[in-house]
A and B are shown apart, each in its own frame.
Chain A
Amino acid sequence: MEILVIILAGILIGASVYLMLSKSLLRIIIGTGVLSHGILLMLLTMGGLKRGGIPVLDDSVQSYSDPLPQAMLLTVIVITFALTAYMLVIAIRVYKELGTDNVENMKGVPRDDD
């Protein structure tokens, strides 16, 4: 199972890189989201999957899943949410101000330096 999940995570990461390298703003945003999904899966798998009960104290349970990656990944999820929302808003603002969503065209838009 773990190997399968790692491969899936690798595919997600690879695809996210492809999305992020494209020219369109929306694809870049979705790319970062997908990247974080891939990394989530990857890190969760590092501690081994399904190795015990859910990490909540219970006298009848002998072994627990690794709680540490879960705690760290919880923060990853929340931060990713903030990051995605932030990028979304940057995209909106940039699109409004510059009138293009092609990142290749954004450089060289004249700044008013006066």
Chain B
Amino acid sequence: MNEVLEMQCPVPIREYPQVLMAHGGGGRLMHALVERMFGVAFANPILDRRHDAAVLPASSHRLAFTTDSYVVRPLFFPGGDLGSLAIHGTVNDLVMSGARPQYLSAGFILEEGLPMEVLWRVVLSMRHAAAQSGVMIVTGDTKVVDAGAGDGLFINTTGLGLIEHSLTIDPRSVAVGDAVLISGDVGRHGMAVMAMREGLEFESAIESDSASVAEPVLAMVRAGMELHCLRDLTRGGLTASLNEIAEASSMSIRITEEAVPVRGDVSAACEILGLDVLQVACEGRFVAFVPEAEAERALAILKAHPVSAGAVRIGTVESKDGAEVVAQGVLGRDRVLPMPSGEQLPRIC
């Protein structure tokens, strides 16, 4: 890993310091970009065959299959960047069905004029994140759009994972009495990105929580745990994820607001901007629904992994009617947490 991280960008940056239309044109420049940047950074036996399609071994296991596109701004933020996010996000989506992530595709949409050095940093970050998550990037695509027609760089990743268990990890498996666990503190990714927006800037030590959560989830699967449902927290934060599950399972979920871990600085940043931390985006956090009897064991496994060391129980699945998410507030009063309505805007006055 280190030797590659230290290595210079293999595409001759001095010749082409910025992406040109020709880098997507199918000719010599595109070939150089694919071979010498993507091919080198993502090298593995399947990608190295350079077929139009990656040829993968078949398996008798069920497959998990997911896709996501990544457009975050800025490209680099404290604790991560677009590249690591594009790996972690898709890996985590696979993991939420208890699958072992194996193969990813990577589609790049580059805007003409994107500094080649920026692309190289993002690609290296993807390489690093893929290695850490135990996945191979086995196929890909590159397109270049005219200057002004894109916003620097967009990435799509599609992932395949093997389901090596017989559970149905799905909102439909959620049952009354299930314990609701969260893998760590919330709101860090959203606030790390917010801190960099022109006009809203603030200084803090807040870093994105962007990470693969494959290890703790697969450890729970290996331990034979009866997992009912898993859901990663992304846009819309905890509130959105719980509402999705409540709706899909037709169950009401009750959480204790104070039990949800929030770092002091994240909570302070939300106070200043008037945001509800329960709706702020995360990129390395998930909720787990497990039977009451499994809750302690699940927490012990989660806490044994650094990425989920802050895991705690936040609530319980309460009833079969309502499909509502209810939070008990600091004063002991209940309120409904409705599905967030679009992006939260800073509330100043």
Q: Do A and B come from one complex?
A: no
- Residues of A at under 8 Å CB distance from B? none
- Residues of B at under 8 Å CB distance from A? none
